[in-house]
Amino acid sequence: MKSETLRNSNSIFNIAEAEDIKSGRTADVYFENALKTLEEYGFDGSVTMEVTVSGSTYPWILISGIQEVIHLLEGRRVNVEAVPEGTIIEARDIEGVPVPVMTITGKYRDFAIFETAILGFICQSTGISTYSSMVRVAAGDLPFFSFGIRRMHPAISPMIDRATYIGGADGVSGIMGAEIIGIEPTGTMPHAVSIILGDDNAWKLGLSGNKRPKVALIDTFEDEKFAAVHAARIVKDLDFVRLDTPSSRRGDFSNIVREVRWELDINGFRNVKIMVSGGLDHNSVLKLRKAGAAAFGVGTSIASAKPVDFAMDIVEMDTRSLSKRGKFSGRKKVYRCPKCRNIYVKHNSDSPLICACGTELECLSTSMLVEGKILNIYPNPKDIRDRTLVEIHSRPQRLRLEQEL
Ligand SMILES: [Zn+2]
């Protein structure tokens, strides 16, 4: 990438625009140096590079961020195969071979400059979607919503909402994130409305009309148990009372939820459910679910989820298997047993492919870009989320997470 092709940033914010990323301007400089060296030498060969997990602290990995890589490489003369977004994998297969989530083949000079961006897209999005899927498991069949974009730079809020939704969230608070996903944004009301108008007016005016669900934020002034019953009396057909109690005033949040549930029940408001939010993570979601909470707003823990460490390495040069020490050379595909869900990584030439349990393996590696052309209509976030839910329900890890918590 020659520096004279780069334009100056016009942004008033400290962000890269799409054209900056597409032009390679967000790359680490050593790729620019490498390309200069190879050009001087006269190298113009093809390579295959693999993206594998080099480190993760999660019990499983839910892939996302692939769509942005496809858009990044569209128009470049490269072929891309990847494990589809919304698929659960582990870092290594059943025999200990690293799982390639993406394989890129083409002239090195055509895509080397994008390694930084490719990894950035996949590492952060996969970290968020993976953690979101852990919250999904903790919440069981109850709804949870992404409320975390305020903790992160607004430029990436749609990515955060999309990754959280793909991980299994039932809704997102961001207007633009929801638009990209193709759903209505989810929101209740800020404490500010109760402070300005008083609780009674805030609930009456804010929850008039037929828009559902009706959620009354109840912890602005009063103790939660009195405010919950008060809100249920004032708002006809109230669906939820929401406790957004900050941890500084919380005490034992589970017991507050139990107390509110008890008071609502004995006052005849069994249909009014409890939504909780404020500093929740997958552990507190599970605890509060057991205490009687019926919906969860989860923010910072998902939005700031630790990225999964993916690495990108050459595994083939022209048609010769070659990789650095510590990596497995040769072009490979990822397979999975549809019955026991075991993952196998096989060299392209291997066949036939049967699981240890006797079932024929399905291939997860999917061709997504051929000579820079996008092959199929990319699945929408709702379909990807559906895939995630099927993956979660078919995994024994579901039980493992719940036991560990
Ligand atoms: Zn099997």
pLDDT > 50? residue 6: no
**188-202 pLDDT, tens digit each:** 788 898 899 988 888
**What pLDDT, on the 0 to 100 scale, is given for residue 396?**
59
**317-356 pLDDT, tens digit each:** 998 998 998 889 999 999 999 998 999 999 876 677 899 9
Q: If you measure from the C-alpha of residue 47 to the centroid of ligand 1, how many angstroms do you get, rounded to a whole number?
A: 33
pLDDT > 70? residue 1: no
pLDDT > 80? residue 282: yes
Residues 6+ apart with CB under 8 A from 70: 80, 82, 368, 369, 374, 378
Q: If you measure from the C-alpha of residue 197 to the centroid of ligand 1, how many angstroms do you get, rounded to a whole number?
A: 61
Mean pLDDT of 208-229: 88
Mapped onto helix, strand or coil, the DSSP state of residue 55 is strand
| Predicted confidence band of residue 133 (pLDDT cuts 50, 70, 90) | very high
Q: What is this structure's pTM?
A: 0.93
CB atoms within 10 A of CB 222: 13
d(CA 339, CA 258): 40
**What pLDDT, on the 0 to 100 scale, is given for residue 402?**
56
Q: If you measure from the C-alpha of residue 363 to the centroid of ligand 1, how many angstroms do you get, rounded to a whole number?
A: 13
Q: What angle do CA 152, 155, 159 make, to 5 degrees?
A: 80
Task: Give the residue with greater pLDDT, 395 vs 396.
Answer: 395
Q: How far is CA 195 from CA 57, 192, 202, 228, in A?
A: 42, 5, 9, 17
**What pLDDT, on the 0 to 100 scale, is given for residue 24?**
94
Mean pLDDT of 20-49: 93
DSSP E strand boundaries for 83-232: 88-89, 102-107, 144-146, 171-172, 215-217
Q: If you measure from the C-alpha of residue 360 to the centroid of ligand 1, how many angstroms do you get, rounded to a whole number?
A: 8
Task: Give the residue with greater pLDDT, 250 vs 186.
Answer: 186
Mean pLDDT of 137-148: 94
**What pLDDT, on the 0 to 100 scale, is given for residue 349?**
62
pLDDT > 90? residue 376: no
**What pLDDT, on the 0 to 100 scale, is given for residue 405?**
46
**What pLDDT, on the 0 to 100 scale, is given for residue 5?**
45
Q: If you measure from the C-alpha of residue 341 to the centroid of ligand 1, how many angstroms do you get, rounded to a whole number?
A: 6
Q: If you measure from the C-alpha of residue 32 to the centroid of ligand 1, how many angstroms do you get, rounded to a whole number?
A: 45
Mean pLDDT of 78-85: 97
d(CA 240, CA 304): 27
**What pLDDT, on the 0 to 100 scale, is given for residue 116?**
97
pLDDT > 70? residue 248: no
pLDDT > 70? residue 10: no
| Predicted confidence band of residue 271 (pLDDT cuts 50, 70, 90) | very high
Show the domains of the chain with their CATH numbers. Answer: 3-8+16-126+306-383 (3.20.140.10), 187-293 (3.20.20.70)
Q: If you measure from the C-alpha of residue 104 to the centroid of ligand 1, how many angstroms do you get, rounded to a whole number?
A: 28
Count Cβ atoms within 10 A of the Cβ of residue 209 and give its class: 0-12 exposed, 13-18 middle, 19 or more buried.
Answer: exposed
pLDDT > 70? residue 291: yes
Q: If you measure from the C-alpha of residue 359 to the centroid of ligand 1, how many angstroms do you get, rounded to a whole number?
A: 5
d(CA 195, CA 88): 44
Q: If you measure from the C-alpha of residue 364 to the centroid of ligand 1, how many angstroms do you get, rounded to a whole number?
A: 14
- Specify which residues 102 forms β-bridges with: 51, 82
Q: If you measure from the C-alpha of residue 338 to the centroid of ligand 1, how many angstroms do you get, rounded to a whole number?
A: 7
Q: If you measure from the C-alpha of residue 326 to the centroid of ligand 1, how many angstroms do you get, rounded to a whole number?
A: 28
Single-letter amino acid code for the residue at 120: G
| Predicted confidence band of residue 250 (pLDDT cuts 50, 70, 90) | low
Residues 6+ apart with CB under 8 A from 267: 229, 232
Express as a percent the part of the chain with pLDDT over 90.
75
DSSP, residue by residue, 177-190: HHHHHTS-------
Q: If you measure from the C-alpha of residue 92 to the centroid of ligand 1, how many angstroms do you get, rounded to a whole number?
A: 16
| Predicted confidence band of residue 8 (pLDDT cuts 50, 70, 90) | low
